[in-house]
Structure 1
Amino acid sequence: MKPLRLTILAVIGIVLGLAGFAATELADRSSGTTPVLPYSALGSMAVIAVFTLALGIRVLRWRNSEKRTRMIDPIFAARTLVLAHACAYAGAVLLGWHAGVLADQLPVWAVRSTSPVILQAIAMMGGGVIMVAIGLLVERFCRVPPEDGEEPKDGREAGPNRAGDAEGGYA
C-alpha cells in the first residue's frame, strides 16, 4: 500500500471546498438551508478518530516491543492501515467542504456574527483537521522499521517506506 500524500489530501480538500462553496451559493439562491453537518456529526467523527487511534496504538506497541512473543496478525495491521487512510481522506473531505461553506458565509459574518452555520462549519473543519492528523499519525505507527543489517538494493540510505519501494514498509 502506498503512503498517504499530503498533496493528494490537499487536492481533495480544494476540490471539495469549491464544491461546498458552489453548493452553498446554490442553496442561498434557492432559499434552501446551508449544506453543513450538524454538531452531532462531531460525535461520529470522534468515535472514528478514537477507534483509529486505539488500533494504531496497538500496532505501535507491538512494533516497539523488545520481546515479541507472537506475531501481530497481518490482516489486523492491514485493516488498521486502511482505516487510517480512510480517516485521513474523510477528514480532508469534511475539512474542504466546510471550508467552502465558511468561505461563502464570511461576507455575511458581520451581519450574523453568531450564526450557527458559521460556528458549525468551523467546528466541522476542526474535526476534519483532527481526523487527517490521526490518519497520518496512525499510518506512521504502522510502518515497520528496517531489519538490523538490512542493506537497500539501490544503495540509498535504509529507511522504512521510501517512495518507490515495491515491498511497501508497513506492519
Structure 2
Amino acid sequence: MKLTNPLTLLVIGSAVGVLGWLAAVLTTRYGLNTPVLPLNGLITMGVIVVLTLVLGIRVRRWRNGNKKKMLNPILAAWTLVLAQACAYTGSVLLGWHVGIFVDQLRLWNLRSDQTLAWQALIMAGGGLMMIVVGLTVERFCRIPPEDGEGESAPGRQEQRKPKSEGEYAYRGD
C-alpha cells in the first residue's frame, strides 16, 4: 500500500469545504438549520482516534524490536486501513466544518449567539486531530526496507559485503 498523500487530503478537504460553505449559504437563505455535526460527535471521533492510536502504537512497538509475541499480520493491515480511513474522514470533516465556519464569519456581527460558529470550529479541530493521528499511525505501520531493498534503514551506514561471485541461490546446470 502507498502512503496517503497529504496533498490529496488537502484537495479533498478543500472540495468538501466549498460544498460545506455552499450548503451553509443555501440553508441560511431558505431558513433551514445549518448542517453541522453536534458536539457529541466528538465522543465518536475521540473513540476512533484513541483506538487508531492504541493499535498503531502496538504495531510500532513490534516493528521497533519488541517481538516477543508475533504480531498478527491481519491486525497490522487493519490498523493501516483504519489509519488511512481516519485521515480521509478527518479531511472530509475538517473541510465541511471550515466551510460552514467561513459562512458563519460573515454573520458574526449580525447574531448575538455564535454557538454554531464555535461548534463548527470545534468539529473542524476534531477533524484535524483525526488527520494527524491517521497520518502518524500510518507511518507507524511502515516496515523499514530490508538489506538490499532500495535505501538502508535509518541509522545504518555500513555497506553489506557482497557474496563471492558465482554463488547463486539455484544451480543452473
Counterpart residue number, 2:25: 25
Counterpart residue number, 1:150: 148
Q: AA paired with 2:122?
A: A
Superposed displacement of residue 146, structure 1: 2.1
Q: Secondary structure at the match of 2:134?
A: helix
Counterpart residue number, 1:35: 35
Aligned length: 154
Structure 1 vs Structure 2 CA RMSD: 1.5
Q: AA paired with 1:10?
A: L
Alpha-carbon distance change, 110 to 19 in structure 1, aligned in 2, over 3 angstroms: same
Structure 1 segment 89-100 matched on structure 2, within 5 A: 89-100=88-99
Deviations 1:54-112, CA, capped at 9 Å, x for gaps: 0000001111125x234311110000000000000000000000010011111111233
Q: Distance in 2 between matches of 1:159 and 1:4?
A: 21
Superposed displacement of residue 151, structure 1: 4.1
Structure 1 segment 1-171 matched on structure 2, within 5 A: 1-65=1-65, 68-112=67-111, 114-147=113-146, 149-152=147-150, 157-158=151-152
Q: Which runs of 5+ in 1 are unaligned?
A: 161-171
Q: Distance in 2 between matches of 1:52 and 1:124?
A: 19
Q: State the TM-score, normalizing by the size of structure 2.
A: 0.84
Higher mean alpha-carbon deviation, 122-131 vs 106-115, is at 106-115
Q: Distance in 2 between matches of 1:107 and 1:126?
A: 20
Superposed displacement of residue 113, structure 1: 5.8
Q: Distance in 1 between matches of 2:85 and 2:153?
A: 25
Q: Which runs of 5+ in 2 are unaligned?
A: 155-173
Which stretches of structure 1, 4 residues or more, deviate above 4 A after TM superposition? Answer: none
Q: Which has the larger radius of gyration?
A: 2
Once the two structures are aligned, what percentage of the paired residues are identical? 53
Q: Distance in 2 between matches of 1:138 and 1:113?
A: 41
Q: State the TM-score, normalizing by the size of structure 1.
A: 0.85
Q: Distance in 2 between matches of 1:61 and 1:88?
A: 21
Deviations 1:132-164, CA, capped at 9 Å, x for gaps: 0000000010011123x3242xxxx3359xxxx
Q: Distance in 2 between matches of 1:101 and 1:116?
A: 12
